Structure formats: C-alpha cells, structure tokens
Amino acid sequence: MGCAPSIHVSQSGVIYCRDSDESNSPHQTTTISQGTATVHGFFIKTDAAESLPSVLAYQSRATRTSSRREKKENSNCTEAETQTSHTSVKVASTEVRFGPMRLTQDPFQVLLVFAKEDSQSDGFWWACDKAGYKCNIARTPESALEYFLDKHHEIIIIDNRHARYFDAEAVCRSIRATNPGKNTVILVVVPQMSNDQEESSVLPLLNAGFNRRYLENPNITACYNELIQLEHGEVQSQFKLRACSSIFTALEHCQEAIEITSEDHVIQYVNPAFEHMMGYHKGELVGKELTELPKCDKNKADLLDTINTCIKKGKEWQGIYYARRKAGDSIQQDVTVTPVIGQGGKIRHFVSIKKLCSDNNKQIYNVQSDDKYTEENSQSDSQSLRRKDRRKGSIDVRSITSKRSDGSSHNRRHSSMARIHSMTIEAPITKVINIINTAQENSPVTVAEALDRVLEILRTTELYSPQLGTKDDDPHTSNLVGGLMTDGLRRLSGNEYIFSKNCRQTEKTEGPLWTSLDGQIEEEPDLQQSHMPVALSDVPPHVAELLEEEESWDFNIFELEATTNKRPLLYLGLKILTQFGVCKFLNCSETTLRSWLQVIETNYHASNSYHNSTHAADVLHATAYFLRKDRVKGSLDKLDEVAALIAAAVHDVDHPGRTNSFLCNAGSELAVLYNDTAVLESHHAALAFQLTAGDNKSNIFKNIERNQFRTLRQAIIDMVLATEMTKHFEHVNKFVNSINKPMTSIDETSSNSESSDGECPSSIKDSMENRLLIKRMMIKCADVANPCRSVELCVEWAGRISEEYFAQTDEEKRQGLPVVMPVFDRNTCSIPKSQISFIDYFINDMFDAWDAFANLPNLIQHLAENYKYWKTLDESKYKGLRPPPDL
C-alpha cells in the first residue's frame, strides 16, 4: 500500500484502477463499467462523470498515507473518516436489540495510538476504511486521552511493540480511569514472537485493562477481520452494558420500592424508594440475606413458604405482606415477586416490587422524618439522604400531598412540588460535590480515598481559612489570627454572653454618636471650629511642598500629620481626589469636596494611636499609588477609581480603636445592631453615607444620576466590607484563581509582545466579577501595606498598632471581658514576633499575588527588608521596636 493506485478512464467512460505496488495481486486491476465495483471496500457508481471525483478522492487518501509521514511528523493527531463524496457508500446506524429494548448504534469510531506510522498502523487505518469506521490516530498518551474524552471511541488500538515511545499499559490504565473508558474495548498490538521464543502470558495485559491481544500483522485483511470480530463480540456486548445505565436510572427514580436478590435470596440491589420506605440505607442491606432482616409477626406462619414455593417454580407471586421497618414499626405492602431466568436457563434473580398500602402513606412520611434526624450522623446515611434529594417526583411528594383532602388542592400541590423537584437550583458547591461523588464511583481506591478527603474539606464552612498547622504552638500567631479573624460573641465559663454595663442607649438621634469605652457619649465636633483651606492653591507652602512627593511610594505620611496638626486626610485627599477628577465625575464643586473631607476626617478619632485619620490618609495614598499602575488602571473604569478613592478615605471612619471581637464580647450597641457580623466595617460604610447625606454642603453625591449613585454606593460598600479580616483568605484565594492564574497563562502566550506588560486582557476588564476582585484586593493591600513601607515608616506603624492592642487588652482586663489577644500584654509582648507572625500569615501571600498583577517590585523589596529587620530583633531576644545602640 506504499503507492497510490493509478486511475485511468477510457474513451467509453470505463474506469480502471491499478494498485501500483500490488502488481502480483490477482486483483491488480479493477474495471468499473455500467454496474458497480468494489475498490478496497468502496462502492462507486459507474457513471464516469460522477465517479471520477470519488475515485480521485480515494486516490488522494491513498497518497496521504505516505505524505502524512512527511508533512505531519510533528503532529500529535490526525483524522480520517470513511467518506469520499456524496457518491460513496456511508455506513448507517445499526439497530441492536437488548431484551425488549431497541437500541440504535452509531457508526463505530476507532482510535489508533501509535507513536510512529508504519505498515501496522496503515493496516488498521485501511481496515477501518474498509469496514466503514471513523478512525483517529494519536501520537502521544496525552493526545490519546484528550481525543478519547472528546470522541468516546468504541475501539482503541494501542501499539505495545516499542516501549521506548510510551508505556502502553499506562495509557490503557489512564483511559480505563475515566468514566467513558469503562465500556471501551481496548486492543493491544504486540510484536511477533520468534519460533524459539516461549509464549508469554496475557494476564499482565488483562490486568492492565486490555480486552484482547493482537500479534503484529500489517495485512489489511487480518486487521479487518480483527475489527469485525470485535464489533460483533466485545463492542456489541459493551454497548448493551452501557444501555443498562438507563435502566438503573429508571430504577433510581421509580416511586415504587424495588429489591433485587440472588437465587439464594441475598440482596443485590435496592432503590432509593425502598430505602425511604424501610428506613434503611443501601449499605445496610446489600450483601445480606433476607433471613437476616427482622420479620413482622402479623404475617401468616406459612406465608414465606408459600411465596418461596411459588417463585422457585418460576411463577410470579403477588399479595399483601407485612414488613418491619428499621425503626421497629410494621407496614403493610402490596408486593410482587418476579423470578428472572439467567444463565443456563436457571432462575438467577428475584425482583420484588413493593407498594405501600394507602393507610401507611402518612405514617411512613412522619416516621421517615424522625429517622432522618436520628441517623444523620452516619456518613453512609448522609449519602443516602443525598440520593433522596436528587430524586424527582419521589414518594415524599405523594406523602405530603396526600394530606390534602380537596381534589383540586391536591393536584395543584402535587404539580407545584413536581416543578420544584425539576428546578435547577443547586448551588455551585453542591454541583462540585456531586461531580466528585460521580467521579468516585469509577475511580481506583487511592483516588477515591483522596476524593473523600476533598469532600470533607469542601463540606466545611471555612473553605478559605487555612489551618495554622505547625504555627499552632506559636502564641503570637494564634492570638493575632484569633483576634483578627473571629467574629461574633465570645463566651465565658457558664456560657453567659457578656454585655458591658457601661454601654447604654442614648435618646439623641441626630448626628453620629459613639458610646465611648468609659460609657461617655461623644458628640459630633463643631466643624466650624476647625480651619479649612479655601482652595487647593491656598494650602500652606510647607504643606504643599510635602505634597509634591505624594506620588512616591516612600511619601512620609507622618511628616504630613505633624505639619497639618493631625489633619492629613483633608490636604492629601484634596490633592489626590482633584488629580483623579473626582469632582468632575461627581459633578460637584471643589468646595463641596473640601467640606466632605473635613466631615469625614473629623469623625476619625484622633485619640486612637493607629485607627485615625492618618491611617485613612495612608490607605488613600496607597490606593492612589496602585491606581496609577498601568495594569490596575487598565482593568478599572472611572467609576471604579472614584469608588476606590472614596472607600479608602472612609473605610475606618469612627473606628473606636477596638476590634470586632472586643465589641461583640462587650455587647456594644453596634454589635447588637449588626448581629455580631462585620460590625465595624458595616458601621464605617453606613456612617460614611449618613454623614455625606446629612448636610447638603458636604454631599458629594447630590448631583449624580440615581442609577449611577446606586452603582457607586454598592462599589464603595463592597470595598469597605472587604477590609474585614474574617474574609481575608477568601478574597486572596479568589483573586489568585480568577486573576493571577489566567493572567499568567496570558502573559506566557504574549511574552514575545512588547506591549503586553501594561495591558489588561478584555476578559478581565469586561468581567464585573473580576473587577470586583481587583478592587477588593487593592483596598485590602492598601489597608495593611505598613510592612511594605520603608523601615522607618513600618516601625512607626508597628508601634502604633501595638499600642492600640495593648490598650484593648488593658480594657478587657479592667472590664472582666475575655482577652482576645493575650499575647498583646504591654509588659510581656514581643513586637518583633507579632510583626513576623503578621507578615508570615497575612502579608506575604497577599502581596505576592498583588505584585504579580500590579508589578510592585519596590514594595516587595521593602517587605523583605522589614522582615529581616524584625527577624534580627527577634533572634536577639529584643522585644521592642528599635534595637539598642549595641545591637
């Protein structure tokens, strides 16, 4: 078959086909006249005008055998189908009978897995042509698996003659491990043995998953005969076995209870309706003899003998039978037992169909409800319950609707329940769990066990919160994580919730109020008492000089704090928001913006060592710095930018200098108001809009369109809530999976493009969900960027946050509250250890992910320097902020 057959057309329209390399064959020339002739399995019409294109197409396929070696040597896959033109004979679908079922089998597909083309692969290729099969060739194990998962071939032929190319047994196992690979026929080609070579056992091949062995023989007829035998043997048998899945699907969804036993009355199968009726789950029944189950004494003494005598004769038995459920109660059933004839003409199975007598419907539903709660601690029970949930139109529906006496109400209720059962309302995590459950059924034991561990993890509520692992023994880490990532009420001994006696309600409702920690009411300061610049040009020269360095990451916010008399947010905010065109976007005047900044800054507590307006200004500065980065800027639109800047300015407004856990433990008014969930973050967002709308002079939103305001408001709220640390790992992991990983693949693809670095793919920019993740990550990084500042700034911020935590611990001890972070005791705390723990647990991974997106090498360098600084202090057993002169 190395050369193409030559085609000749006589003047009379007779076509001659000569195979040039089979000159000795008795069929070396085929004449096609006014009838039909066969050319390697093709039936071709005799009309010369119509036949010529078909024959030429056949000739081109023959020549393609040799050209494939030249043109597609590096290709993983090639494909050919047994069709030449509309004049060629096409193999139609065949009808297969399986008992009473009539099945339609599509034309067979064959996958050849050969690393190199040779006479053997060509033999099978042309045998497929002759048999009318579709054929694919894969060159590598990877492409073979990919092609199979796409096409679901009935026959796979794997070359095992040359072990240096790939492991044929490994390829077979990988295919068998897939769900569609279970019913595929896999043939292995082995080399011919010499006369003095001993015949090897086929058991290793069978154990690897192969169905048959084929001794190397490139003859097309031999290959053709092998394929035909497979088609009428194993392939058709596997095709019928695949049809059984539809039968089991019907059984699983059947409303009637079905039980299948062996001829010795060993239970082989029960459907979910049977589990529901009897109160057992499948694992408790399958494999047991019927005699092992408890019997009901309401039946006649000889009833079982009567049933056995009848069915052993091959006759069907039908009648009333009393059964005992797992709960111990008895139910009346209408039972039909049918014997099934199997191999050897003998009875091999008994099928029992059981229906509840109408008087039992209500009783079964009520008892089943009770059983569900008593048995739900068992893992196997929970699997049973999941199967029940997937059933549509189950007995539960009939039982519920039977309570309604009115006919129309009954029908309407039944229809409504049926629609609910058919709705696709599964949560994404439920779909994932169901997919894994399905994959387990056809997986090896080791894979199934691994998937069990995956399911255990997925069923937890804290999917994104990592385990402390080896850090459990580090009190600094566990205290810090516990203090920042816990929410809700903490309990003391006796399980009594703790409420502070000093917290009290106030009757005043106008203006923002905060019940201070000592029980005093702090009212909103008089805004008129503070000096406010008239315009950006009126900013004092020494302040303006400092603000010239605002675009640098190393901008010193503490110098601005000192120069502005602890009002850095007003001056820095005025410059940044003006630079980003916030006034123009909001259609408000600069005077309104200045008034708004003054209101927001006044509502930060200057008495807090850390959570004050200087921190807000610092977060605003970091946010603006990030927004100027090309990729961040290219990912967000103008509304996103404005929302991010406003969120940064207000994200900690009216912060009391205490954590959420403290407020919940103290039973503060805010904790009660926000149900112990994201207490401070909810308060910051709500108060920011309350303050803005409270005075028309400072209402920066008063001139924007309603829908735009709602979108902007939602974006601001979402970013402020994202600063809550309990969702830290959720936000980081979502960013990595949805932004970093796709960006990595895009960057690798476009690595040769000069303009790829600063561009953001449209797939990210056009996705609202992706932009949301970027904004959350941006404000989170800006909020805790202290370890990424210069060493001097980092040390100052560390001292301030530590002092605030020290003050909280002191307050908790004074009020007799649970101490949220015991390690932050001002007399014993090691600040270097606390910073190391914070960087290890929260900062490193988050800023690695953010740097991978925004390209921030200077921040990563500062982070490394600061980490080294704290490590040096810690290794020297020094607990303070700055080293002594001799260190």
As annotated, the active-site residues are 611
- Residues whose CB is less than 8 angstroms from the CB of residue 668 and which lie 6 or more positions away in sequence, other chains included: 500, 503, 515, 679
Measured distance CA(400)–CA(403) in Å, rounded: 6
- Residues whose CB is less than 8 angstroms from the CB of residue 25 and which lie 6 or more positions away in sequence, other chains included: 19
Map tokens 């058991």 to a residue.
Answer: 203
Task: Judge contact between 651 and 785, C-beta under 8 A.
Answer: no
Q: Is 528 helix (H, G, I), strand (E, B) or coil?
A: helix
Structure tokens at 478: 């566990």
Map tokens 């694919």 to a residue.
Answer: 136
Task: Judge contact between 175 and 209, C-beta under 8 A.
Answer: yes
Task: Judge contact between 603 and 687, C-beta under 8 A.
Answer: yes
Neighbours of 173 (CB within 10 A): 15
Q: Is 230 left (phi over 0), alpha (psi -120 to 50) or beta?
A: alpha
Task: Judge contact between 10 and 29, C-beta under 8 A.
Answer: no
Structure tokens at 255: 């409303």
Measured distance CA(47)–CA(53) in Å, rounded: 11
Amino acid at site 781: C
Length of the chain equals 887
Structure tokens at 198: 């001993």
- Residues whose CB is less than 8 angstroms from the CB of residue 671 and which lie 6 or more positions away in sequence, other chains included: 489, 660, 663, 664, 679
Neighbours of 350 (CB within 10 A): 23
- Residues whose CB is less than 8 angstroms from the CB of residue 409 and which lie 6 or more positions away in sequence, other chains included: none
CA neighbor of 121 nearest in space, from 54, 216, 198: 216
Measured distance CA(640)–CA(817) in Å, rounded: 41
List b or e across 668-692, with b for residues whose CB sees 16 or more CB atoms inside 10 angstroms. bbbbeebebebbbbbbbbbbbeebb
Task: Judge contact between 139 and 172, C-beta under 8 A.
Answer: no
CA 776, 778, 784, 787 torsion-angle sign = positive
Residue 15, φ and ψ in degrees, nearest 5: -105, 130
Give the distance, in angstroms, between the CA of residue 602 and the centroid of all CA atoms in the same chain. 45
Amino acid at site 634: G
